[in-house]
Amino acid sequence: MTGYYRDGYCRTGPGDMGVHVVCAEMTEAFLDFTRLQGNDLTTPMKAFDFPGLRPGDRWCLCAQRWQEAYEADVAPPVILEATHIGALEFADLDALKAHAIEAGA
């Protein structure tokens, strides 16, 4: 289950230091990029009930990491309807729109 609170929503709160508010569909390029940045999202972590992500999975990403990936030309597609408005503190709206896909896609 995605989201900082593992409730399926890209919400944030006082304890969410990473601001996990961008709902994105994982790509191999993004997963490789974030692993090289020190955040391996592909390896399962049973202690946190985290199955590991694969291309096609949808996940609430840190807004700043999404923006970094955008600047490196590896940003994954975004589901704007499920992305929290707080993402705009770190990510450019035009960039998010340019990477938008339909929620049902």
pLDDT tens-digit map of 82-91: 999 999 999 9
Longest Cα separation, the chain: 37
| Non-local CB neighbours of 105 within 8 Å, separated by 6+ positions | none
* pLDDT at residue 105, as a whole number: 64
* pLDDT at residue 96, as a whole number: 95
Residue 32: name the closest of 55, 49, 48 by CA.
55
Label residue 73 by pLDDT band (50, 70, 90). Answer: very high
